[in-house]
Amino acid sequence: GKCDFCRRGLENLCENARFTGYHVDGGYAQYMVVPEAFAYRLPQGFSDVEATPLLCGGVIGYRALKLSEVRPGERLGLYGFGSSAHMVIQIARRWGCEVYVFTRSEEHRRHALELGAAWVGGAKDTPPHKLDSSIIFAPAGWIVPEALRVLRKGGMLALAGIHMTPIPEMDYDALLYHERTVRSVANSTRQDVVELLRLAETMQIRTDVQVFPLQEANHVLQLLKRAQIRGTAVLEIPQ
């Protein structure tokens, strides 16, 4: 890399970054040519379909988990329980963390409990304990003050969405004072991918996938909007 961020291993913040499917066509291509530095060996024990979520929601969730600064044995909050969160909870549980899941979907609450959540509820509910760190996956700005309300002193709140609705005005003394921190999460680095794929293999992370043909992409987006996907939706290109 040439810019300061790339030289520091933070290519996710590159001033000249271009992303396939966003800046450049090819997100649904069957084949593509990539620089060797951006190609990775997939972990053993995963089919192509099962590995797909690792390189999208998985790595974003993993970077958010790292930036949340949660430590083994601490209490972690997850707001939203879709593709990223259902993989993050498995890593956090292997670290010995207690995981508290906030989601509006009853099916997602059941899924979280199956994967070891200590508690489930809605974003406005109060968990039985203050949380050390939290990650917001839902793109809803109104959740930020709700998450800060149940975050302990010195806690970290990571915002993992690419986009988010406006964050409402907050009471500094009640929600931010006592060294609580709010930080955003921007994409991921190559090192994040390497670390996650290693963890996926050693921890035997399970990806829950629902497979749809590419032609149903618009229908799948509506299912995602209505929180009707369990785990990750994968679009399969016809052979």
pLDDT of residue 117: 98
| Distant-in-sequence, close-in-space partners of 67: CB < 8 Å, separation ≥ 6 | 156, 158, 183, 185
Instruction: Please give the share of the chain, as a percent, with pLDDT higher than 90.
Output: 86
Structure confidence by residue, pLDDT tens digits, 104-141:
999 999 999 999 999 999 999 999 999 999 999 999 99
Per-residue pLDDT, averaged over 72-101, amounts to: 98
Give CA angle at 178 (173, 182), nearest 5°.
85
Instruction: Please give the share of the chain, as a percent, with pLDDT higher than 70.
Output: 100
The chain-wide mean pLDDT, for the chain, equals 95
Per-residue confidence at 28, pLDDT binned at 50, 70, 90? confident
pLDDT of residue 155: 98
pTM, to two decimals = 0.95
- What structural domains and CATH numbers belong to the chain? 55-184 (3.40.50.720)
Per-residue pLDDT, averaged over 4-23, amounts to: 90
pLDDT of residue 186: 94
Query: Both tokens of residue 6?
Result: 């790339």
pLDDT of residue 137: 97
Residue 25 has pLDDT above 80, yes or no: yes
pLDDT of residue 215: 93
pLDDT of residue 166: 97
Per-residue confidence at 30, pLDDT binned at 50, 70, 90? confident
Distance CA 218, CA 220 (A): 5
Residue 1 has pLDDT above 80, yes or no: no
Per-residue confidence at 82, pLDDT binned at 50, 70, 90? very high
Residue 72 has pLDDT above 80, yes or no: yes
Per-residue pLDDT, averaged over 16-37, amounts to: 85
Per-residue pLDDT, averaged over 28-32, amounts to: 84
| Distant-in-sequence, close-in-space partners of 134: CB < 8 Å, separation ≥ 6 | 68, 76, 77, 78, 79, 147, 150, 151, 155, 156, 157, 158
Of 178, 115, 171, 120, the residue nearest 151 (C-alpha):
178
